A and B are shown apart, each in its own frame.
Chain A
Amino acid sequence: MAANGNGEALRVEHIAKRFGGVTALADVNLRLPRGEVLGLIGDNGAGKSTLIKVICGFHQPDAGRIFVNGEEVVIKSVDHARALGIDTVYQDLALVNELTVYHNMFLNRELVRWPLLSNRRMQRLARQHLEDMGVNVPSVDVEVAKLSGGQRQAIAVARSVYTDAKILLLDEPLAAMGAKEGALILDLVRDLKRKGEVSIVIIAHNFGQILEVCDRINLLQHGTITFDKPTSQTSVQELTDLVVAEYRAARTRGLAQDPPAEARGPGRG
């Protein structure tokens, strides 16, 4: 079964998604070979987050097909996506500040010796797993609120990997992160890539940083992928020019005819 997937962890074809009158995704085709890291860039409102949410089962697409390991699937829910090995690390991380690191690591997948939680076992496994992944925290017993942004992001990623995610969707993991903390995340992604068990899609704005770790870059514009190149064949300059050109075009178009739906382009989304 896996063989006829040509080593593809994920492929989406002709995905479309509308919200009322707004077309978020028009026709998206995307390919993620196994073990690769794909950088997904695009301006705000281009549909990046919608695409992620379609793949992770949060939204149902209006049209199009999704293949996981070469097999077509209809992803019904977030839980379903997770069962297929697709996990998302959201921008807000889904960590609970008031809980310890190890409780967060096992959130909603707690180890239980009914009726009580097996805290000792969760502590031990969490500590070992974080160590294996090279994630450094003062102790797995501290509340997550005490950790830095980078550490929290690392824990969120480690959690997804621990729960057997084979396809990781990282939604702006580098947003609002200092250089040192960003490096922590990039190192983590690089380690995962080296092990080759996990395929990753990263959404990011900082082209320089994602060029460091990604194998390929896709640019999403107005709900379609308009650019798809291996990292080795592109540069920060080219990507920046593409995005800026889009912005200029939208702006002149906007001045010319002022279309209400298009005004969304460079705005928020």
Chain B
Amino acid sequence: MSDTIEVAKRVEAAPPGRAPRRILRRAGEEFLRRREASVLVVAVGLGLYFMSAEPAFLTYDNLVNISRATAPTAIVAAGMVLVMVSGEIDLSVGAVYALAPFNMHYLIDYYSVPVIPAILLALLISAAIGFANGFITWVFKVPSFVTTLGTLNLVIGIVLVTSHAYPAPIPEQAVGTIQNWLGAADWSQLLWCVLIVGFLHLVLTSTRWGLHTVAVGGNLLGATEAGIRTGRIKIGNFMIVATLGGLAGIMDAFRVNTIDPNLGGGTTIMFAAVSAAVIGGTALAGGSGTVIGAFLGALVLAELQNGMNLIGISANPYFLILGAAILISMIANVYLSRLRRTGRT
């Protein structure tokens, strides 16, 4: 707030004609200071480019496609940001994504559980896997990279063994309203995505939970000394990302209208989520990151894949561009945070 006072004084002192320009520059600096700024510029730029290159990019159907490619990744990435800000990583979230719709299917078709409780139970089981990840990481001091590498394989093993690697149909009782609300209708995934991203953004920036997540990732010892229950924060964030992984898995199953066990361990969505978080400005080392940035990161990935497809480039160079995007955004992040730290911008 003292900043505002300072600005007000400076603006008063400036000659009348130059005041607006100063405000504009100030606004520009303020914009650049936001971590989401660079990735927002990229997302908008890519959109404009593909729009001009291929008119089909802006059709209703294609926008639905982009939203469907963005939403599940962004939902998982939003949770991943919390885990990464707290100084950990979850590689198993893609496996949970594969398992959750099967659990729903088993509960409904083999145990006659009604649809909604079955979905909630499937999410609860996802949360329990997240708890196990956090518990093992925290109590046994196993690095989360290793913990979740283990649970990734365990969970995928459970999926393949219980399903015999055969896909399953969507349970009949879920077909219709529930399937539509949870992923099948045109914009339902985006709706969930916006709600979840908005909610977690608020959690990270404006609640004690978010503040403590930053503190735990930024200075673990210091946070402990300040009396923060660091284990609870870390485990809780693992539970959040796993639950979101389960939700994204159920929604994607509803969308493609089948439950597929052969997702390659769910690594595609896991890596997409980590990439989206990183491109959005989240540091792997913990302590900083933004949920909105991760959403924009997921949007950038979806635009790239969709747009390149539309203008007739094969899917193969997509990975070249993704790789370059991750490296460039990471280098830019390191550079920008150094700028931020030394005071300028």
Q: Are A and B bound to each other?
A: yes
B 202-221 contacts with A by CB, 8 A = 202, 206-208, 211-212, 214-215, 217-219, 221
**Is B16's CB within 8 Å of the partner chain A?**
no
Contacts of A119 in B (CB 8 A): 206
- B316 interface residue (CB < 8 Å to A): no
Give residues of chain A (93-107) contacting chain B, Cβ–Cβ below 8 Å: 93-99, 103, 107
A153 interface residue (CB < 8 Å to B): no
Residues from chain B with a CB closer than 8 A to the CB of A107 are: 211, 215, 223, 226, 228
Q: Is B1 an interface position by the 8 A CB rule?
A: yes
Q: How far is the CB of A36 from chain B (nearest CB, A)?
A: 25
**B263 to chain A: closest CB distance in Å?**
35
A98 contacts which chain B residues (CB < 8 A)? 214, 217-218, 287-288
| B214 A117 Cβ-Cβ under 8 A | no
Q: Can you give 9 contacting A-B residue pairs, CB < 8 Å?
A: A78-B225, A90-B222, A93-B222, A94-B221, A96-B214, A98-B218, A108-B226, A110-B211, A119-B206
B223 close to A96 (CB less than 8 A): yes
**A79 surroundings in chain B (CB, below 8 A):** 227
Given the interface pairs A115-B207, A117-B206, the reply to whether A96 lies near B1 with Cβ below 8 Å is no
Interface range for B = 20 to 34
Query: Nearest chain-A residue to B215 (Cβ)?
Result: A96
A92 adjacent to chain B (CB < 8 Å): yes
User: Quick check: is B141 within 8 A (CB to CB) of the other chain?
Assistant: no
The B1-39 residues at the A interface (CB cut-off 8 A) are 1-3
A92 touches B226 (CB 8 A): no
Task: Verify B218–A99 contact, CB threshold 8 A.
Answer: yes
The total of chain A residues at the interface (CB under 8 A) is: 32
B288 pairs with A141, CB closer than 8 A: no
The CA-CA distance from A146 to B343 in the complex, in Å, is 7
- Please give, as numbers and ranges, the residues of chain A lying within 8 Å of B214 by CB-CB distance: 96, 98-99
Q: Which residue of B lies closest to A140 (CB)?
A: B2
B211 in complex: contacting residue of A94, A97, A117, A124, CB < 8 Å: A117
- Cβ-based interface call for B164 (8 A): no
In the complex, are the beta carbons of A99 and B215 less than 8 A apart?
Answer: yes
A95:B225 contact, CB within 8 angstroms:
no
**A96–B218 contact, CB under 8 A?**
yes
Chain B positions 221 through 248: 1 when the CB is less than 8 Å from some CB of chain A, otherwise 0 = 1110111100000000000000000000
Query: A94 contacts B222, CB within 8 Å?
Result: yes
Name the A residues within 8 Å of B215 (CB-CB).
96, 99, 107-108
Is A82 at the interface (CB under 8 A from chain B)? yes
Residues on B with beta carbons closer than 8 Å to the beta carbon of A245: none
